[in-house]
Structure 1
Amino acid sequence: MKKIGILGGTFDPPHLGHLIIANEVLNTMSLDEIWFMPNQEPPHKKKSNAIDDEDRVNLLKLAIQGHPNFKIELIELKRKGPSYSYETMKILKETHLDKQFYFIIGADMIEYLPKWYNIDELFDIVQFIGVRRPSYSHQSPYPILYAEVPEINISSSLIRSRLKEGKTVRYIVPDSVRSYIKEKNLYGP
């Protein structure tokens, strides 16, 4: 049975922090693949709407190109309304009977788990892998596996802010992502 890590998010834009987390979890947890899953409407925060979904997917494709174990799963973008992990994972489990899923979350989401939609049922169908992040608690009443990942304090909102101010994002996003952003004049002033 293939072991698949699911890394969800807005990826608005994807950055090196996302890639480092994915690569570290892939290797430390001996997973077969990481599926990046851009969401439609995150229930826990307001979507930035900085760019359209097509550009988010194109940026994600550029970010993961060349890594044979990184894939993109578009199930949440194809559905309308809030992206509830329970509903998504239920569909993925029913569609991919030959795969075992691991849902990768940062420490900010570990703290928020008790508020997730159908969280107890979600734990019945997927194993969570928590990734440490600076200044967050890693305590949870739920059984979570933990992956040691270098603490990188990069966020998509930081990148959008820097781009809006005309600042550089070199070495924060892959060069291919930076080129696409510049070419399409995304996030700019």
Structure 2
Amino acid sequence: MRLEQGEAEEGRRGTGILGGSFDPIHNAHLRLADCALKELGLSEICFLPAAHPYLHKHKDISPFEIRAEMTRLAIRGRRDFRLSLMEGEREGPSYTVDTLRILRERCPGESFTLIIGADQLYELENWHEPSLLFRLSEIAAARRDSGRRERNLSEQAEYLRGRYGARIHLLSMEETEISSSRIREMVRRGEDISGLVPESVLCYIREKGLWRS
């Protein structure tokens, strides 16, 4: 079931949820969504800009309307990508588990897969109500070198499966070094961000003069 309207294609299953500040949304977000869509056979990916991301460490986050518009531009023309503004309708911190709870209430027969970066797989236990989160949604994570972490990514996935009964998929896509904070800093320094964001988003950033002051 689509979150707004229509039915999922026969033979495909579930909806992928890709949330974030999207300040700005960039090409790595879109590649991750495409990878999850194809490898998990999802019917669509729903992009959820966070209104008040409680884990966001930056005070200069752009207004929700600007981040939502950049997301809309980035996915325009993709029938299997959807934008949801539901978090902009709520007040207070944007807890992922609350979003999933609302989605379950709206679409009780639908299955959801939360799409995250590799680093987030190590942080999920610290998220709000992790046990409930794992019950409400499957998890799909990008791959990345675990570096000096105690457990590699596969071991972390197995740990969460064992402790919480989490349903975790490791995607073939490796996480890149592209980040929204890096892109904002590049814009502030007057550096070229072509190739890091969709052309439509690049034009919007220039038109609005984002992060220039």
| TM-score range normalised by the length of the shorter chain | over 0.9
Alignment partner of 1:41 out of 17, 32, 52: 52
1:151 aligns with 2:175: yes
1:127 matched to which residue of 2? 138
Give deviations 1:113-171, integer Å, cap 9, x for gaps.
Answer: 11111111111111111112355642242132111114322000010000000001000
1:175 aligns with 2:199: yes
Aligned residues: 189
2:146 and 2:31 map into 1 onto residues whose CA distance is 19
2:14 matched to which residue of 1? 3
Contact kept in structure 2, 1:90 and 1:125, CA below 8 Å: yes
Shift of 1:32: 0.4
1:142 matched to which residue of 2? 160
Give deviations 1:66-104, integer Å, cap 9, x for gaps.
Answer: 111000112212111111111110110010123210011
Q: Which moved more, 1:138-147 or 1:122-131?
A: 138-147
SS in 2 for 1:187: coil
SS in 1 for 2:111: strand
Contact kept in structure 1, 2:140 and 2:169, CA below 8 Å: yes
Alignment partner of 1:82 out of 71, 85, 93: 93
Contact kept in structure 1, 2:74 and 2:201, CA below 8 Å: yes
1:29 and 1:70 map into 2 onto residues whose CA distance is 15
CA RMSD, aligned part only?
1.6
Bigger radius of gyration: 2
1:129 and 1:100 map into 2 onto residues whose CA distance is 13
Uncovered stretches (5+) of structure 2, i.e. residues with no partner = 2-12, 162-167
Contact kept in structure 2, 1:134 and 1:153, CA below 8 Å: no
Cα 1:107/1:151, change in 2 over 3 Å:
closer
Shift of 1:44: 2.2
Contact kept in structure 2, 1:107 and 1:132, CA below 8 Å: yes
Contact kept in structure 1, 2:142 and 2:170, CA below 8 Å: yes
Shift of 1:26: 0.4
Structure 1: which 4+ aligned runs deviate by more than 6 Å?
none
Shift of 1:4: 0.2
**What is the identity, as a one-letter code, of the residue corresponding to 1:121?**
L
Contact kept in structure 1, 2:100 and 2:136, CA below 8 Å: yes
1:27 matched to which residue of 2? 38
Contact kept in structure 1, 2:18 and 2:45, CA below 8 Å: yes
More RCO (CA 8 Å, sep 6+): 1
Shift of 1:48: 4.4
Shift of 1:41: 2.0
1:92 aligns with 2:110: no
Give me the TM-score of the superposition, normalised by structure 2. Answer: 0.83
Q: Which moved more, 1:5-14 or 1:136-145?
A: 136-145
Cα 1:166/1:75, change in 2 over 3 Å:
same
